[in-house]
Amino acid sequence: MGGFCGNKNILAPKKCSGEARHRGLTQNSAPGPKGADIKEFGDSESGPPLIPMIHAIEAGNKPMVAAIEGFALGGGLELALGCHYRIAHSKARLGLPEVTLGLLPAAGGSQRLPRLIGVPAALDLIITGRHVTAAEALQLGIVDQVTDHHTVDAAVKFALSVAGRPLDARRISSYSCPPVSGDLDALFEEVMRKVRRGARGAIAPVACVQAVRAAATLPYARGMERERELMATLFTSGQARALQYSFFAQRAVSRWSTPSGARWDASAPKPVRKVAVIGLGTMGRGIAVALAQAGFPVVSVETQEKQLTEAKRAVSQMLERGAKRRGVAAPLDKMSYSSNIQAVADVDLVIEAVFEDMGLKKKIFQQLSAVCKPDALLCTNTSSLDVDQLASQTRNPELVVGMHFFAPAHVMKLLEVVYGPRSSPQALATAMQLGKKMGKVSVAVGNCPGFVGNRMLKAYVEQAFFLLEEGATPELVDSALEEFGFSMGFFKVSDLSGLDVGWKVRKEDGLALPGVSTGPSARIRQGRRYSPLGDLLCQRGRFGQKTGSGWYQYGKPGGRVATPDPWLHSFLEEYRAQHGLVPRRIDPQEVLERCLYALINEGFRILEDGIAAGPEDIDCIYVFGYGWPHYRGGPMFYAAMVGLPKVLERLEHYYRAHPDVPDLQPCSLLRRLVASGSPPVQKWKEAIKKLHSQL
Ligand SMILES: CCC/C=C/C(=O)SCCNC(=O)CCNC(=O)[C@H](O)C(C)(C)COP(=O)([O-])OP(=O)([O-])OC[C@H]1O[C@@H](n2cnc3c(N)ncnc32)[C@H](O)[C@@H]1OP(=O)([O-])[O-]
């Protein structure tokens, strides 16, 4: 973005002393077009103090025209709002994304934007942080003109054309907010209610509403004071640090590397022009939709005719709904269907998404290997099965990788790309790039049972069951997790996805055994503590929402509203009595420590094993695939915020109390990091490398 005044003087930011600045609160440094340098938020900043500069621009007697090309985000847009006119190139993007970094637009953005475009439109932009196109900015009244030509030339021409006109009516800080239809207080109360509900503990969206309310109800100078006070609280909050960490973590995971030395910058992806999806159950349908929406021609294969007919209808509906939401044409022409696997003969990449059964998947990989082009990439959407075993069914095992999507696959942002010991760097690079084109946060992970996400989840789920045995209720566990920031606690999620899913896996793993409901062996499997509670509910046909009851009751099969179930409470009492378990009072803190620290401990094991390249990979997986509250950064960042010595001490404490639960035994990487002074999370990768080289 460039700024121009009537006599063509270009704004040249000057350096100012560090003391003159106030850590980005009253006098922020000069922003670039993408806004402030996010890296500088934690360090010393450079550049001139922003707020006085914007005030000086606005108060100036020469018309100042902002020429906006590329991005005008955050401080960049705030600077433009201080100008008297704004001209944008048609390809420009504008926005106040501070909320996504745990902040608010504190260089006057929260005060000027509502004065310029009205309270409802400003609330929408500031609370969501979304970027708008130049066309939308023009429609909203943020810019005065959009050009397809040279923006700077257009701005200079414009500045000359308005030179000499009075500027009083162009100084946004002197405006009052345009009146809203209806009662202003009622509007803010309604917005605040919605924002608090959606924010689930995030403080920045709430502060954004408060700042806009100040713009609507206070004179500009007092509004600016309020903006500064609110920003001061946000700026030093752990939430802002977590969200800023997450911004860089998302970008770091695209620079993948593997323990064998393969790297993102040394592995060129293969071109992918046409893709196939095998199996049109829930996952296959979502994957096909996501591919078509990303512009890929998709051949979908489903051998069961009835399922194929249903899937065709469902996929078309999903594509049409998505297109309506985005205001584009539904890409129905990208889809073709077949009940014959021969239809995939000419595709460049296949994603197998059939039922989670190793025998069936092996058969399909044998068929694919025979039918597909020899250089086609064969991918599996398995959530935990051994990718290498599937690779061994094919002619070219180096072309096999996992692409583990999360349900619903066209909505969820996460993709785990699983490389086996034989996957080639090119295969990995191709799957990572495809994920990116599909708008996913793709994370490369090694091959082990459950990969990263589900492997860690196992430790968390186990603790939730044990807590019930020891005296907790599903309501107590869920409310502690929801208070932490998850949208749903474990037991509600389990009811939603179906208890039978985990039951099937436990049966396959030899854990859920029929007829072992009493006696000492009932709660020990494979030499460690085991809770059969989930199996017992499944044996009674309580699969969750779909059967009308699970850990909660739902009134009828398919019901959605969870209510506590007295039957379940008596069942738990009987179960404890039967097994000689004396219930005790469990507080929410113990729920969090047991569930989250067990999960984090497994995260450290995963880092130790080299299954994830760094803490950023694990954190992105949890934030984008498992509902970990974004403003808490992810489990590994959270562990660093809590303090590694504290996490270690609590795990030691719980392991002493439960020596039959190996997940609670602190892993050696955690001990070593604590022993080496608990380096910040950004330094763990180096520390891990050093530890590995010492072993
Ligand atoms: C001053 C007063 C207070 C003001 C506050 C604000 O302005 S708050 C508002 C603050 N501003 C924002 O919130 C905007 C944040 N930025 C974005 O949303 C996107 O970058 C984009 C939409 C501008 C471009 O998307 P794209 O897909 O084309 O590109 P990409 O995303 O891959 O980025 C390319 C490289 O640039 C890096 N980098 C980018 N921005 C920043 C930054 N601000 N800082 C530092 N670095 C930044 C990024 O890490 C990456 O580096 P890598 O990994 O290659 O080493």
Q: By C-alpha distance, which of 60, 67, 61 is closest to 156? A: 67
Atom index in ligand 1 nearest the CA of residue 106 equals 3
Answer for the pair 145, 154: CB distance below 8 angstroms, yes or no: yes
Band of residue 260 on the pLDDT scale cut at 50, 70, 90: very high
Task: Report pLDDT for 504.
Answer: 86
R_g over Cα of the chain: 28
Question: What residues are paired with 93 via a beta bridge?
Answer: 71, 133
Single-letter residue type at 634:
G
Q: By C-alpha distance, which of 439, 366, 430, 361 is closest to 397? A: 366
For 273-300, how does the pLDDT look when each residue is reduced to its tens digit (9 = 90+)?
999 999 999 999 999 999 999 999 999 9
Band of residue 15 on the pLDDT scale cut at 50, 70, 90: very low
Band of residue 30 on the pLDDT scale cut at 50, 70, 90: low
244 lines ligand 1 (CB under 6 A): no
22 lines ligand 1 (CB under 6 A): no
For 373-423, how does the pLDDT look when each residue is reduced to its tens digit (9 = 90+)?
999 999 999 998 999 999 999 999 999 999 999 999 999 999 999 999 999
Section 447-476 average pLDDT: 97
Band of residue 691 on the pLDDT scale cut at 50, 70, 90: confident
28 lines ligand 1 (CB under 6 A): yes
Section 229-240 average pLDDT: 94
Q: How far is the CA of 29 from the centre of ligand 1 (A)?
A: 16
Residues 6+ apart with CB under 8 A from 399: 375, 376, 377, 378, 423, 424, 427
Band of residue 122 on the pLDDT scale cut at 50, 70, 90: very high
> Regarding the domain delimited by 267-451, which CATH topology (the fold level of the hierarchy) does it fall under?
Rossmann fold (3.40.50)
Q: How far is the CA of 529 from the centre of ligand 1 (A)?
A: 47
Answer for the pair 404, 397: CB distance below 8 angstroms, yes or no: no
pLDDT tops 80 at residue 48: no
For 634-666, how does the pLDDT look when each residue is reduced to its tens digit (9 = 90+)?
999 999 999 999 999 999 999 999 999 999 999
For 69-83, how does the pLDDT look when each residue is reduced to its tens digit (9 = 90+)?
999 999 999 999 999
Q: What is the dihedral of CA 629, 634, 635, 637, to 10 degrees?
A: -130
Q: How far is CA 3 from CA 89, 98, 308, in A?
A: 14, 22, 58
Residue 389 is encoded by which pair of tokens?
């075993």
Band of residue 525 on the pLDDT scale cut at 50, 70, 90: confident
- The correct answer on CATH 3.30.1490.190 for the domain covering 588-694 is no
Section 162-172 average pLDDT: 94
Which residue has 């294969």 as its token pair? 301
pTM summary value? 0.92
For 180-195, how does the pLDDT look when each residue is reduced to its tens digit (9 = 90+)?
999 999 999 999 999 9
Return the H-helix or E-strand segment holding 351: strand 349-352
Answer for the pair 406, 384: CB distance below 8 angstroms, yes or no: no
For 299-334, how does the pLDDT look when each residue is reduced to its tens digit (9 = 90+)?
999 999 999 999 999 999 999 999 999 999 999 999
Tell me: cis bond preceding 408? Omega within 30 of 0 counts.
yes
Task: With H, G, I as helix, E, B as strand and everything else as coil, classify residue 396.
Answer: coil
Task: Report pLDDT for 563.
Answer: 98
504 lines ligand 1 (CB under 6 A): no
For 49-73, how does the pLDDT look when each residue is reduced to its tens digit (9 = 90+)?
899 999 999 999 999 999 999 999 9
Task: With H, G, I as helix, E, B as strand and everything else as coil, classify residue 668.
Answer: helix
Ligand 1, atom 14, lies closest to the CA of: 34
From 23, 34, 437, give the residue whose CB has the most ligand 1 atoms within 8 Å, as the site to mutate: 34
Atom index in ligand 1 nearest the CA of residue 247 equals 49
130 lines ligand 1 (CB under 6 A): no
34 lines ligand 1 (CB under 6 A): yes
Question: Domain residue spans in the chain?
Answer: 3-235, 267-451, 472-578, 588-694
300 lines ligand 1 (CB under 6 A): no
Task: Report pLDDT for 47.
Answer: 60
For 37-153, strand residue ranges (E) read 64-68, 71-73, 85-89, 93-95, 132-133, 145-147
Section 120-146 average pLDDT: 98
Task: Report pLDDT for 23.
Answer: 29
Burial 153-188 (b: 16+ CB within 10 A, else e): ebbbebbeeeeeeebeebbbbebebeeeeeeeeebb
Answer for the pair 103, 204: CB distance below 8 angstroms, yes or no: yes
Do strands 441-446 and 275-278 pair parallel, antiparallel, or not at all (unpaired)?
unpaired
Q: How far is the CA of 37 from the centre of ligand 1 (A)?
A: 7
Q: How far is the CA of 327 from the centre of ligand 1 (A)?
A: 27
For 397-406, how does the pLDDT look when each residue is reduced to its tens digit (9 = 90+)?
999 999 999 9
**Catalytic positions:** 78, 98
40 lines ligand 1 (CB under 6 A): no
Q: How far is the CA of 164 from the centre of ligand 1 (A)?
A: 37
37 lines ligand 1 (CB under 6 A): yes
Section 586-607 average pLDDT: 98
Section 573-598 average pLDDT: 97
Task: With H, G, I as helix, E, B as strand and everything else as coil, classify residue 68.
Answer: strand
Task: Report pLDDT for 36.
Answer: 79
Atom index in ligand 1 nearest the CA of residue 31 equals 1
Task: Report pLDDT for 41.
Answer: 78
The residue ranking higher by pLDDT, 179 or 20, is 179
255 lines ligand 1 (CB under 6 A): no
Q: How far is the CA of 34 from the centre of ligand 1 (A)?
A: 5
Q: Please state which architecture CATH assigns to domain 3-235.
A: Alpha-Beta Complex (3.90)
> What secondary structure letter does DSSP report for 35?
B
Residues 6+ apart with CB under 8 A from 609: 446, 448
ipTM of the complex: 0.94
Fold matches, 472-578 and 588-694: yes
Section 97-122 average pLDDT: 98
> Regarding the domain delimited by 472-578, which CATH topology (the fold level of the hierarchy) does it fall under?
N-(1-d-carboxylethyl)-l-norvaline Dehydrogenase; domain 2 (1.10.1040)
Task: Report pLDDT for 688.
Answer: 85
The residue ranking higher by pLDDT, 690 or 114, is 114
Q: By C-alpha distance, which of 138, 119, 68, 127 is closest to 97? A: 127
Atom index in ligand 1 nearest the CA of residue 131 equals 22
Q: By C-alpha distance, which of 384, 382, 386, 383 is closest to 397? A: 386
pLDDT tops 50 at residue 94: yes
Q: By C-alpha distance, which of 414, 355, 359, 351 is closest to 377? A: 351
Return the H-helix or E-strand segment holding 56: helix 50-59
Band of residue 518 on the pLDDT scale cut at 50, 70, 90: low
Ligand 1, atom 17, lies closest to the CA of: 34
Q: How far is the CA of 198 from the centre of ligand 1 (A)?
A: 25
Calpha distance 71→462 (Å, rounded):
47
Burial 13-25 (b: 16+ CB within 10 A, else e): beebeeeebebbb
Mean pLDDT of the chain: 92
| Sign of torsion over alpha carbons 23, 28, 29, 33 | positive
From 38, 111, 436, give the residue whose CB has the most ligand 1 atoms within 8 Å, as the site to mutate: 38
